[in-house]
Amino acid sequence: MEENFLSLDDILLSQERLPVRTECVFPRLGFLEKSSDSQDIPEGTKMELPLWLSKGLYEKKRKVLSVELPKVYKEGWRTVFTADPNVVDLHKMGPYYYGLGSQMLHFDSPENPDIAKTLLQTFIGRFRRTMDSSQNAYNEDTSVLVGRLDCLEKVLFRSGQKGLNGFQSWEKGQASQLTASSLVLNYRKRKLVDVQA
Amino acid sequence: MFCEKAIDLIRELHRMSDGQLPAFNEDGLRQVLQEMEALYEQNQADVNEAKTIGRADLIPSIKLRHCCLLRNQRCIFAYLYDRLLRIRALRWEYGSVLPANVRFHMSAEEVQWFGQYKKSLASFMRSIGGKEGLDITQDMKPPKSLYIQVRCLKDYGEFEIDDGTVILLKKNSQHFLPRWKCEQLIRQGILEHVMS
Amino acid sequence: MDPSEVEFLAEKEFVKIIPNFSLDKIYLIGGDLGPFNPGLPVDVPVWLALNLKQRQKCRILPLEWMDVEKLEEIRELERKEDAFTPAPSPYYMELTKLLLNHASDNIPKADEIRTLVKDIWDTRIAKLRLSADSFIRQQEAHAQLDNLTLMEINTIREFLLDSLNCMYKLRSNLQPGSTKGQFADY
């Protein structure tokens, strides 16, 4: 799964932090590591770097960095996911469970095939529930339903709701009614809040 | 860490996910550009040192700063591009004249871009549909009838319809008007479409 | 597609009316209509039928399948079969709504028909979801959408396409070497 250069979601996903260990010295960048006051980042330092930086620095041939797998993708959690993907709160574990997992495959690891398999099986295992909740919930507070979904599933939930809501409003005869743009209404609401504040 | 300002810009835009346009963050943008300048200068100095006195050990740090430069660039591109998409959508929601509170959130360049988009859309609409041209922002939903019943939601003032008659759009007054004349005003929340 | 666009397409379907006025043949881009003679049945598109009806210029004859017995049969068959049975009309849902809302006085047992059509719709939508789930579960590459109507597909289209895209991406993760080892520059 490759990132989309201009997507805000993908930029936020690549901001997720990964545990890494430096495999060489990074001279004159010591100030990035708050726990030390040396001028350089010494070799063997354990720190957290965002995905985009880990990806940018990572090279197979000349290792300057080794990246550790976040624990949700390790074997222990993989077993949990395989047992019953529906019990897991992917929002809490993620919220970019699928996206980050796919990105982790860029880093060489013998566990990669198993990670890829678990990601797919988890998605498939949770699909029915995502579909049913998005296609049944009409005119109700959906925050509970969405609460445990990963970002990718949330997007699906929203497109399911769009289909349902469109049909329901057609059935009630509201589809041909011209309405004010929601953008316009939201601006007005905001202006009101500004005035009250 | 580097690039924190850049991700703040992205978060700011992402929080308004319903297509609204937050105020152009000139200050944030300037801070990112300043950071990029500093990164670039530091890298220039280190590259020179690496070349002239052979300090190959500087290379990992040069690479790290370079990644940060690219990251900042990506964030700025995405910030500006996403805003343009939102600004383009405004033309379809509000029509060609934006309310002051929306325009207020745009930078000078964005206002200029909006003007150009407006122009090319207008000249495209003039070029199709025969002599009269065709307004493609009309009839976003298939029309059921040529005339519709509308209720005024606010005092708007005088309004001229096809045959030259002028009617007064007063709050709570109801009118039976040509659909194509009202569509824009309904979208702007001035009129309400009353279904029989 | 917006459901109102789907309904717009349905309005091109033909229906029989009995006019109470006379008018010569009229020539339109979409074809010739009429002539209209009082008391003589004539075929017109639904949009025209509804317009005439609203102005009390005609009586609309119910479509041939808008019949309680026929619909009950279709409902039972739909419930029995695993696959989708042929719908009463490719626009059965839209036409039912349009005609029953504007000409219910011309259609006998209108309320029963409304309920039956809704039952058929619900059964078919439940089937649609079941097959979407098994489609994903078995990681199929293609599906047959025989006998589904536009309105039915339309309610689930975006959701299903997005899901398939997700699944495609997650599946391509399984092929090592597809993207591995070579990063895009960002």
**Residues near A19 by beta carbon (within 8 Å), at least 6 away in sequence:** A46, A47, A48, A67, A68, A70
User: pLDDT category, B91, cuts 50, 70, 90?
Assistant: very high
Token pair belonging to A142 = 């959906």
On whether the CB atoms of residues A98 and A88 are closer than 8 A, the answer is no
Whole-number pLDDT of residue B109: 97
Summarize the confidence of residues B95-107 as an average pLDDT.
90
Residue A140 confidence class, pLDDT cut points 50, 70, 90: confident
Q: Is the pLDDT of residue B84 over 90?
A: yes
pLDDT of A187 > 80? The answer is no
**Token digits of residue C174:** 């399984």
- Considering only alpha carbons, which residue of chain C is nearest residue B145? C51
Q: Does B16 touch chain A (CB under 8 A)?
A: no
Q: Which residue has the tokens 């989309």?
A: A4
Using CB atoms, pick whichever of C5, C185, C186 lies closest to residue B142: C5
Q: Say if residue A65's pLDDT is above 80.
A: yes
State residue C178's pLDDT score: 53
Q: Mean pLDDT, consecutive 10-residue segments, chain C of 186 residues?
A: 94 96 93 94 96 95 95 96 94 96 94 96 94 88 86 94 91 72 48
Indicate if the pLDDT at residue B122 is higher than 90: yes
CATH 3.40.5.60 describes domain B147-194 = yes
B131/A150 Cα distance (integer angstroms): 53
* pTM of the predicted structure, to 2 decimals: 0.88
Q: What is the pLDDT of residue A174?
A: 85
Contact A9 B13 (CB under 8 A): no
Separation of alpha carbons B120 and C8, rounded Å: 30
At A121, the pLDDT band (50, 70, 90 cuts) reads: very high
pLDDT of residue C92: 97
Quote the pLDDT of residue C139: 85
Please give the average per-residue pLDDT across B86-112, as a whole number: 92
**Which residues of B are less than 8 Å from C10 in CB distance?**
none
| Residues in contact with A56: Cβ distance below 8 Å, sequence separation at least 6, in sequence order | B63, B64, B66, B67, B70, B71, C183, C186
Q: Tell the CATH topology of A1-68.
A: Methane Monooxygenase Hydroxylase; Chain G, domain 1 (1.20.58)
C47 C-beta neighbours (distance < 10 Å), count: 17
Give residue A61's pLDDT.
80
Q: C-alpha angle B179/A163/C73, rounded to 5°?
A: 100
Q: Domain C3-172 carries which CATH code?
A: 1.20.58.1020
Residues 138-157 of B with CB under 8 A from A: 141-142, 144, 148
* DSSP helix/strand/coil, A59: coil
- Whether residue A28 and residue B74 make contact (CB cut-off 8 A), yes or no, is no
Q: At what angle do helices C3-10 and C92-103 cross, to 10 degrees?
A: 80
Neighbours of chain C (3+ CB pairs under 8 A): A, B
Query: Residues C108, C132: contact at Cβ < 8 Å?
Result: no
**Dihedral sign, CA of C115, C119, C120, C124?**
positive
Written in H, E and C, the secondary structure of C131-158 is HHHHHHHCCCCCCCCCCCCHHHHHHHHH
pLDDT more than 90, % of chain C:
78
Across chain A, mean pLDDT equals 88
Q: Does A60 touch chain C (CB under 8 A)?
A: yes
Residue C4 sits at the chain B interface (C-beta within 8 Å): yes
Q: What confidence score (pLDDT) does residue B150 get?
A: 94
**Helix, coil or strand: residue B126:** helix
Is residue A93's pLDDT more than 90? no
* Residues B52-80, mean pLDDT to the nearest whole number: 95
- The rounded percent of chain B whose pLDDT value lies above 90 is 70
Region(s) of chain B under CATH 3.40.5.60: 147-194
Distance CA C93, CA C118 (A): 8
- pLDDT for position A192: 63
What is the structure's pLDDT at B112?
Answer: 97
Identity (one letter) of the amino acid at A1?
Answer: M
pLDDT tops 50 at residue A153: yes
Cβ atoms of B23 and B105 closer than 8 Å: yes
* A127: its two tokens: 């699909």
CATH of B4-127, one of 1.20.58.1030, 3.90.1150.10, 3.40.120.10, 3.40.50.300: 1.20.58.1030
Cross-chain residue pair B193–A178, CB shorter than 8 Å: yes
pLDDT(B74) > 70: yes
Read off the tokens for C40: 């003589």
Alpha helices in A75-142 (DSSP H): 75-83, 90-93, 97-104, 112-136
CATH 1.20.58.2050 domain position(s) in chain A: 1-68, 70-172
Confidence band, pLDDT 50/70/90 cuts, at residue A175: confident
Nearest CA in chain C to B74: C186
Asked if A116 and C170 come within 8 Å (Cβ–Cβ), the reply is yes
Q: Where in chain B is the domain with CATH 1.20.58.1030?
A: 4-127
Mean pLDDT of B73-89: 97
Whether residue A46 has pLDDT greater than 70? yes
Chain B hits for C5, CB-CB cut-off 8 Å, are 141-142
CATH code: domain A70-172 is 1.20.58.2050
| pLDDT of res. A193 | 64
Q: In 3-state terms, chain C is what percent helix, strand and coil (to 5)?
A: 50, 10, 35
- Predicted pLDDT at C140: 81
Higher per-residue confidence, C93 vs B132: C93
Which residues of B fall within a CB distance of 8 Å from A187? 20, 99, 101-102
Residue with the bigger pLDDT between B177 and A195: it is B177
pLDDT tens profile B164-190: 889 899 999 999 999 988 888 999 889
Q: What are the pLDDT digits (tens) for C110-147?
A: 999 999 999 999 999 999 999 999 888 888 878 778 89
Question: Which chain C residues are Cβ-neighbours of A134 within 8 angstroms?
Answer: 159
CB contact under 8 A, C5 and B71: no
On chain A, the residues whose CB falls within 8 A of the CB of B71 are 52-53, 56
> For A16-55, b where at least 16 C-beta lie within 10 A, e where not — what string?
bebebebebbbbbbbeebeeeeeebbeeebebebbbbbbb
Report the run of H or E that residue A15 belongs to, with start and end: none
Residue B162: predicted pLDDT: 77
Mutate to test the interface with A, among C170, C182, C185 (most CBs of A within 10 A): C170
**A163-172 residue pLDDT tens:** 999 999 999 9
Chain C residues in contact with B71 by the CB 8 A cut-off are: 186
Q: CB-based contact (8 Å) between A112 and chain C? A: yes
Question: pLDDT for B143-160, tens place per residue?
Answer: 888 899 999 999 998 988
